[in-house]
């Protein structure tokens, strides 16, 4: 089974970055790299590595900026990967899918019956497997065998 994480608003606090929306509208990708973590990343990384050792796969499924250009999509993708490499460098993700804003996330991934952590309710409702909001990520992961 694959355990997927959305990034913005789930593990990365994009919406707390000062002037995040005007920056995105001006095709500035810095809010994606500047976002502070929303979870204790050392604890998250340990749990994810343990789950991988137990046979689970770990993935990211995230969206690009709304109404973005192809050039900005590249910048955002690179910024998100940089954030992961900076904050979760000990985790070797099995799958990283970053796609157009609004794309149903279940259509973006390899394991449609996996687990999703996402801050947006419509994404959780659309998901085919189990889906959780951002509350208690660590506790939920601790309960996965």
8 Å CB contact between 16 and 35: yes
Please state, in angstroms and rounded to a whole number, the distance separating the CA atoms of residues 79 and 65: 12
Residue 145 pLDDT > 90: no
Mean pLDDT of 115-137: 96
Q: What was the pLDDT predicted at 119? A: 98
Please state, in angstroms and rounded to a whole number, the distance separating the CA atoms of residues 58 and 125: 20
CATH number of 2-142: 3.40.50.1000
- What's the pLDDT tens digit per position in 62-109? 999 999 999 999 999 999 999 999 999 999 999 999 999 999 999 999
Question: Is the alpha carbon torsion for 43, 88, 130, 57 positive or negative?
Answer: negative
Coil, strand or helix: which one is 88? coil
Residue 122 makes CB contacts below 8 A (sequence gap 6+) with none
Residue 144 pLDDT > 90: yes
Average pLDDT over all residues of the chain: 97
Give the total residue count for the chain. Answer: 145
- What's the pLDDT tens digit per position in 17-35? 999 999 999 999 999 999 9
Q: State percent of the chain over pLDDT 90.
A: 99
- What's the pLDDT tens digit per position in 25-69? 999 999 999 999 999 999 999 999 999 999 999 999 999 999 999
Domain range summary for the chain, segments of one domain joined by +: 2-142
């Amino acid at each position: 089974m694959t355990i997927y994480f959305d990034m913005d608003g789930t593990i990365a606090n994009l919406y707390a970055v000062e002037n995040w929306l005007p920056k995105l509208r001006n095709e500035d990708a810095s809010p994606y790299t500047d976002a502070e973590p929303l979870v204790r990343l050392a604890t998250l990384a340990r749990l994810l590595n343990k789950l991988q050792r137990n046979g689970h796969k770990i993935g990211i499924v995230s969206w690009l900026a709304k109404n973005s250009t192809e050039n900005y999509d590249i910048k955002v993708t690179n910024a998100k990967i940089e954030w992961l490499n900076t904050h979760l460098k000990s985790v070797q993700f099995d799958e990283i899918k970053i796609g157009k804003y609004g794309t149903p996330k279940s259509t973006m991934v390899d394991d449609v019956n996996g687990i999703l952590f996402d801050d947006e309710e419509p994404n959780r409702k659309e998901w085919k497997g189990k889906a959780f909001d951002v509350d208690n990520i660590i506790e939920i992961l601790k309960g996965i065998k």
